[in-house]
Structure 1
């Protein structure tokens, strides 16, 4: 499952603006209009696929670190349980039981420290991945826009509309197009000229179990909590 995708929605005001621009141009001169499926170009651009792989790798690395915290927590919890059990052993002296009880209390502090580390790391990892995704998306869209501008100027087009754009209610902005002057394939081909040799022929199959960025706990998700401090028996 891809975690790096393109989605675009424009408001009704923007839709109306497109229409007004087209009308104004038609009053001055016959406009030459082209269309492009920006979503198809974005998804088909080899750099988008590379970015998706990098983001999945970042998510996988974060998950490995979190898994390490979980393993450490479980070990500490097992140690704590054993100490509590031994602290209640009536076969040893009261002083020894008290010593074991204090050792168990120190384990509670260690467990709480791990909990805090997990929370902090998860938030930071999520922030880092989201920022990385935003930077990559911005750079890719700029490169696509530059190629569109070049093609539009070279073809003397007045406007280039995105045929994949959706209005506020998820309806297509362009309701009909005869398919003439569609720049999608032309722009995509130009962008992929610099793709590494064999990039598309050796492209791996989509992994439906890809790892998503670490997420914050949900409302109904029970957080990991440290055991309560052992009660001292009199």
Structure 2
């Protein structure tokens, strides 16, 4: 995700400082796969399920509006055929023409309203999703900080971080402890059984 990549960029900057500090003495270093922790944290899965439900609700509302517009379009097509029918009296055509114009304007207004609704609801949902994911990442970051202080680590690096060329920042780290599994165990200790993440529900990268 984009948010994780931003964190990784900060990690890379810290790594440069750590390299210099390592020359002065032995450092206690740990690594963590932030992407794995984020994806496998039960609260991430729960948030994604809620977002998916809301997305389906928006799609249903949009489909209902489309059905109304299509029904109106069918009526317009029927009326147009009547207007083109030479057997229909002129007075009848004049009233049909007025009605056709009113319905056409109604259809245009309904479609404009549908598009605005879809855009508004989608933007709101996207903002909600970003805020939820930021909150989860902050929760994970705090746990990493607490773990680092408790275990007296000098540095904790995100091994899932990539450079601008999409190459991992850390190809090799000597004597580093991977705390990914420990963090996941702590984060998911109270997870309900139904919150186990499944591949199709794992948030896609941005």
- TM-score per shorter chain, which class? 0.7 to 0.9
Q: Is the 8 A contact 2:33 2:158 kept in 1?
A: yes
Higher relative contact order (CA 8 A, sep 6+): 2
Matched, 1:138 2:120: no
SS at match of 1:161: strand
Deviation at 1:204, TM superposition (A): 7.7
When the two structures are superposed, what TM-score results if normalisation uses the length of structure 2?
0.87
Q: 2:72, 2:103 within 8 Å by CA — same for their partners in 1? A: yes
- Determine helix, strand or coil for the equivalent of 2:134: helix
> Structure 1: which 5+ residue stretches go unaligned?
213-234
1:230 maps to which residue?
none
Equivalent residue number for residue 174 of structure 1:
170
| Equivalent residue, structure 2, for 1:24 | 21
- SS at structure 2 position matched to 1:91: coil
**Contact 1:22–1:31 under 8 Å retained in 2:** no
Judged with a 3 Å threshold, the aligned counterparts in structure 2 of structure 1 residues 44 and 165 are, in CA distance, closer, same or farther, namely: same
- Moved >2 Å (runs of 4+): 4-7, 13-17, 24-27, 87-93, 177-180, 203-208
Deviation at 1:182, TM superposition (A): 0.9
Would the aligned equivalents of 2:148 and 2:156 in 1 still touch at CA under 8 Å? yes
Could you tell me which of 97, 102, 108 is aligned with 2:98? 102
TM-score normalised by length of structure 1: 0.77
Cross-structure match for 2:107: 111
How far 1:52 sits from its partner (Å)? Answer: 1.1
Asked if 2 retains the 8 angstrom alpha-carbon contact of 1:6 and 1:39, the reply is: no
* Equivalent position of 1:199 in the other structure: 194
- SS of 1:61's equivalent in the other structure is helix
Give the CA RMSD over aligned residues. 2.6
**Structure 1 residues 50-77: Cα deviation after superposition (integer angstroms, max 9, x where no partner):** 1111111121111101111111111000
Does 118-127 or 103-112 show the bigger shift?
118-127
**1:55-110 C-alpha deviation (Å, 9 max, x unpaired):** 11121111101111111111000111111122233333211110001101111101
Alpha-carbon separation, structure 2, partners of 1:154 and 1:22? 23
